[in-house]
Amino acid sequence: MAKKFIDIMDTTFRDGFQSVFGGRVLMNDFFPAVEAAKTAGITHYEFGGGARFQSLYFYLREDAFEMMDKFRKIVGPEANLQTLSRGVNTVMLETGSKELIDLHAKLFKKHGTTTIRNFDALNDVENLKYSGERIAHHGLKHEVVVTMMDLPPGCHGAHTVDFYEKTLREILDSGVPYSSICFKDASGTSNPQKVFDTIKMARALVPEGTHLRLHTHETAGVSVSAYMAALEAGIDGIDMAAAPVSGGTSQPDILTMLHATKGMNYDLGGLEIDKILTYEKELQHCLSDYFMPPEATMVSPIIPFSPMPGGALTANTQMMRDNNILDKFPEVIAAMQEVVKKGGYGTSVTPVSQFYFQQALNNVMQGPWKAIAPGYGRMVLGYFGKTPVAPDPEIVKIASEKLNLVPTTDNALDLANADYSKSLENWINKLKEEELEITEENIFIAAACQEKGIAFLKGKGELNVRKISEMKKDCEGNSNMGSGNYTVVVDGQKFSVQVAEGDADIQVTAVNGESTSVPAAPAATSGDEVSIKALLPGSVWKLVANPGQSVQEGDVLLILESMKMEIDVVATRSGVVKSINVATNDKVVEGQVVAVIG
């Protein structure tokens, strides 16, 4: 009897890069490995979308559309090139309008995409309808998704086989066009028995011949067992990655699964061990200069209790490294359990996983529920759709008060359509203001990446790639110190200093937050003056108030960007702004004086 053919998607160049490097891999560094993958016989690739779309503009000074075009040219016209989309968010930071959702599908088709895997972290099918329709309208294959995870102990009401059956029935009844169905577990926490029962349920429910897939991560150590359970239950496709970006926070290695299925009645994409070995050797060479965080290659036994997706885990730990707060990571992961319990059980996958992490970070750094992360707050208030269960009423009340928003049951897409800032006209006007070329690609880059997208288009994008060779230069005392935030010790006292090229206005701040004497930005206060300090490390995103301006208690003085969050820095009392001690894009440390009110 012929073996059952299992379609293999190689996630190396999207989810693998995201899970291990936070998506920060330059295209010309990895393209030789794409050639090697093609030679090895791989024909189905995840090559873009998700967080790998924004990371190119945020950190690499590269154009995602150009990368996609070049990738297509390497693998040829017949390869199935797949991207990841977040329902009404697509690849944007926020919910998109209908115009932007349509433009996403149109551009991704134009730039070489075959299939778009389309999910909603809340499993709110309303968020999949229009996005799925536009994907199909533009001639792309639509892989609709049910998102999965195991809930922390003591949580009930969602993420059971019955819950997934309810979600799947809603998808089928909605009439949204699809070419395949994926069960996606970004945290890798779904236990193998539940995976088996879920795929068995789906196989019995969907029309005969429907292509079913499972996506998981090795983060919790059960991915191979989950795939074996899915194969036994009748799955048609699974996702795998190539070393060194396999295992750990990423997908199981291709070689691992080939070994696990030896002697069984499955043909994993016709792949051959010796050819995969050659491919992985080339990939290892391509990535040999990239710093691999140790947590990227680890399996964590606590992840099922605080489900953090592999694709977000290393991105967050790297940001914590950048902000010198990595020592807080265990506390933040522990705090996530309560955040998940009280947040309505949205699946821990982008963007909800980031909401969970940001709120857990706030709870650790500022005290439990003293500050509400904007994304988390808007989620529990209903602005992204309906959560699987109702959020904790007390948390809803706190979020409403902190964010000055009322709870809503309105459709997320309707809310976005009513927001002029999410219209094509708004982004066209912004491009005109910046004297940038008006193209569909530029409109979408600006809308998806906002200020950082505009900066990229103006040639001012940030380059932040963690390469071992560059790190060694820093350790060897390279005299050309790079711009950025550094901690120095003078007479046994720590100071945070900023280094920049040219004649820049530099802040020098003691780590405890008391600024040294700087004429342009006085940090010492006298009389009834009050120092306003940064509660988290990060960078200055926007200045709102000006020196000499009268403000009321609670007024926003400036906005920091920290850990993908916008943090409002507010006046702690009414008065007059005596000084704003930072400038846009300045790096700040926790406790640094950023403004003075008198």
Q: pLDDT by residue (tens digit) across 442-458?
A: 999 999 999 899 999 99
Nearest 5°: phi and psi at 39? -60, -35
**Residue 271 is inside which H or E element, if any?**
none
Closest CA to 213 of 192, 253, 185: 185
**Which range, 236-250, 364-378, 481-495, has the best average confidence (pLDDT)?**
236-250
Higher pLDDT, 419 or 540: 419
Residue 10: pLDDT above 50?
yes
pTM of the predicted protein model? 0.84
Give dist(CA 352, CA 383) in Å, integer: 12
Three state DSSP letters for 125-189: CHHHHHHHHHHHHCCCEEEEEEECCCCCCCCCCCCCHHHHHHHHHHHHHHCCCCCEEEEECCCCC
pLDDT digits (tens, 9 = 90+) for 72-119: 999 999 999 999 999 999 999 789 999 999 999 999 999 999 999 999
pLDDT 10s digits, 248-275: 999 999 999 999 999 999 999 999 999 9
Band of residue 124 on the pLDDT scale cut at 50, 70, 90: very high
Q: Is the dihedral of CA 548, 549, 551, 554 positive or negative?
A: negative
Segment 241-254 shows an average pLDDT of 96
Encode 402-418: b = buried (16+ Cβ within 10 Å), e = exposed: bbeeeeeeebbbebbbe
By three-state DSSP, how is residue 488 classified? Answer: strand
Residues 199 and 189: beta-carbon distance below 8 Å: no
Alpha-carbon span 45 to 345, nearest angstrom: 30
pLDDT at 171: 98
Pick from 187-196, 424-433, 546-555: least confident: 546-555
